[in-house]
Homo-oligomer: A and B are copies of this chain.
Amino acid sequence: MDEHDRFLPKYYKISREIIAKIQSGELLPGMKVPSENEIINTYNVSNTTARKILNEIENAGWATRIKGKGTFVKTRNVDRSVTRILGFTKNMIEAGYKPSTKLLDASILEEDYTDTINGRNYTLASPIYRIKRLRFADNVPMMLEVRYISLFLCPDINKKDLEKPLYDYYQDLYHHRLTEVNQMISTIIIKDEETDRLFGVDKRIPAFLVSGVTFTGREIILEMERSIYRGDRYSFSVRAT
């Protein structure tokens, strides 16, 4: 525990402990959060405090109280369909959130970029415009995105407003038809201090690492991506037929 924690009210500290269990996946969506009585016994608190703890968890959006049944861990907030080419902005609007973006870094690379995706090597030729952005839903940081964009296929994209959806630029400004996106979804434990700081989490949480390559026309690489999606806020939805 952090040395500053002793200044926090008890109900708040305990609610954070329980939320950390949801974030790490120890308590899964649909599972019951400890009841008022269990909290009283486990943490040795009054029933007023136990109620405050449950309210805090519910108000922070992690659980739902069902009358006469208990408090249950909510489903992950955002589902992302993996089989549609869908940018973050549109995904969030469809899910009912207000998306926003913070540009963290932008630079021009004079070297090619290579990544292995689903066992195959893909190389994007230089010059490359590399941008790093933090993406928010209702002001909660959701995803740390790094994208590598062909400056040959998208000249002067480095002079555009990078808080707008890139897919719109590709299609409307540069008239590239996106033909295919290949992505590889891996899972990691967020350890990197910078990432922790950006996401504002103070516990180890699992995350999705998404590496992708976007093609225009016949197998021409337009951009590549390597992004980290918070595992406590995201799940991927799949429909196979």
A-side interface residues toward B, CB under 8 Å?
24-26, 28-30, 75-76, 79, 82-86, 115-119, 179-189, 191, 204-209, 231, 235-241
Chain B contacts for A206, CB-based, 8 A = 187-189, 206-207, 231
Of B76, B180, B209, the residue contacting A25 (CB under 8 A) is: B209
| B182 and A237 contact, CB distance less than 8 A | yes
How many Å lie between the Cα of A209 and that of B184 in the bound state? 16
Copies in the complex: 2
Q: In the complex, how many angstroms separate the beta carbon of A9 from the nearest chain B beta carbon?
A: 27
| B184 and A79 contact, CB distance less than 8 A | yes
Chain B contacts for A117, CB-based, 8 A = 237
Q: In the complex, how many angstroms separate the beta carbon of A104 from the nearest chain B beta carbon?
A: 20
Chain B contacts for A208, CB-based, 8 A = 187
A236 and B191 contact, Cβ closer than 8 Å, known pairs A85-B241, A119-B75: no
